[in-house]
Amino acid sequence: MFETLTNRLDGIFKNLARRGKLSEKDVDLAMGEVRRALLEADVHYKVAKDFVGRVRERSVGHEVSKALNPGQQVIKIVNEELIETLGEPDRLNLVGPKPRVIMLVGLQGSGKTTTAGKLARILRKGGERVMMVAADPYRPAAVQQLQVLGERLDVPVFHEAGVAPPKLAQQAVDSARKGGYSVVIIDTAGRSQLDDILMEEVSSISTNVSPVEILLVIDSMIGQEAINIAQGFRDSLALTGLILTKMDGDSRGGAAISIRSVTGVPIKYLGTGEALEGIEAFDPSRLSSRILGMGDMIGLIERAESSLDADVAQEQAERLMEGEFTLEDFAAQLKQIKKLGPIGQLMDMLPGQMGKMARQVNPNDAEKQLKRTEAIINSMTPEERRRPKTLNASRRRRIAKGAGTTVQEVNRLMKQYREMKKVFKRFRKTGMKGLTGLFR
């Protein structure tokens, strides 16, 4: 999402880094560029103005003039002020008598129903007994969509046809209380735009069920309009948090930077994809690192822990340490990588030199290459995958034909495989010392 902004800021900071000493004029020119970059990224004009003002004030002061590397010190200040602008992280409030009610509100198309499933998955993994409520009788297939998610998660979905949403929500909470459920997630109806009927309905639901959380789900791709929507809902409801969806999209991302500062409502989660795993707890320091091109290794590790098969990873690690690495191992690794999410997101999370190298690659090209590689390996026999040395010219022609590709691509894959095998052998001898340079 922040690729354009990240590239702009990276260019600005490179210019600063070339100067051994920063004058007030240097800082003013750089801050003018930063302000333009923020505005182009759809950051609210007042937020951009205040942000640049704070950074400038600190950058022409004592802490930069006395620094050994003034350019790096300015980046540090920008990072700290960006974290401040994004606001403190806030978590779900799950205190009080059970069941605790979480209301999801927002306009149509913001991703409320999918987000309900994502939250249900997180809470269920945390040991909660969760019930979801289909309180949107207006959108075609809204109830069915939530029911499908409920079946996938093994989470019950409460719905009664012909019952008004405020009464339906009350019935659901009563049913959850009798059934011993600890959390109820209510998926409310949306509209194409803010209107009095919508606000009256969600206000009535809130009055009937006394939610511990009222979370506004906002499509982050709509730019500054997200702020107007948040303010509209905040005026009618006691919002406790925001969930920004479609953070994996190609929009400019300014809503994420502006919304907390303008509305005063904390961001609690970021939606990063359509899959149920595509959600992460909001962390301003990690988001700032990604915006500034410094990666997010913690987020990458957490994604790996939640998505990857620990037994498969352990088995592969043991084989690698024994010096074994076949094309079957390569195929298993590709399957693990696909579980982590879109390649573009993973590139954004890599730090240092490795991240810069990765971001030079087109994510779409990388995705296509991954699919071609998988097709080539799948066109081999189990024996060929276990013993790649058997791949003579005729076998390679057969594999290329089966994968719908060329012999040259098969040869290229085999070269990559041999290079990876060498890396793992070197890693076995030297340990992590041989790899740490990539992260600097």
- Identity at 330, one-letter amino acid code: F
Residues in contact with 4: Cβ distance below 8 Å, sequence separation at least 6, in sequence order: 40, 41, 252
Query: Of the spans 162-176, 179-193, 268-282, 319-333, which averages the highest pLDDT?
Result: 162-176
Which of the listed CATH numbers 1.10.3470.10, 1.20.120.140, 3.30.56.10, 1.10.1520.10 matches domain 3-86? 1.20.120.140
pLDDT, position 343:
62
Topology of the domain covering 100-293: Rossmann fold (3.40.50)
For residues 148 and 161, give the distance between their C-alpha atoms in angstroms, rounded to a whole number.
17
pLDDT, position 388:
86
Closest listed residue to residue 86, CA positions, set 348, 261, 291: 261
For residues 311 and 336, give the distance between their C-alpha atoms in angstroms, rounded to a whole number.
12
Confidence of residue 5 (pLDDT cuts 50, 70, 90): confident
DSSP 71: H
First-to-last alpha carbon distance for the chain, in angstroms, is: 24
Residue with tokens 């129903």: 113
Choose the weakest-confidence range: 187-191, 204-208, 250-254, 382-386: 250-254
Strand 279-281 with 267-271, pairing: antiparallel
Query: Of the spans 27-41, 82-96, 397-411, which averages the highest pLDDT?
Result: 397-411
pLDDT, position 438:
40
Residues in contact with 122: Cβ distance below 8 Å, sequence separation at least 6, in sequence order: 279
pLDDT at 85 over 90: no
CB count in 10 Å sphere of residue 184? 26
3-state class of 315 per DSSP? helix
Q: Tokens representing 226?
A: 């997200």
pLDDT digits (tens, 9 = 90+) for 230-288: 888 888 889 999 999 888 765 566 777 888 888 888 999 989 888 888 888 888 887 88
What residue spans in the chain does CATH classification 1.10.260.30 cover?
Answer: 300-439
What residue spans in the chain does CATH classification 3.40.50.300 cover?
Answer: 100-293
Topology of the domain covering 300-439: 434 Repressor (Amino-terminal Domain) (1.10.260)
What residue spans in the chain does CATH classification 1.20.120.140 cover?
Answer: 3-86
pLDDT digits (tens, 9 = 90+) for 339-359: 666 666 665 555 544 445 445
For residues 306 and 125, give the distance between their C-alpha atoms in angstroms, rounded to a whole number.
10
What is the signed CA dihedral for 46, 47, 52, 55, rounded to 10 degrees?
140
Task: Give Cα separations from 352 to 38, 70, 299 (angstroms).
Answer: 23, 19, 15
CB count in 10 Å sphere of residue 222? 18
Mean pLDDT of 412-428: 76
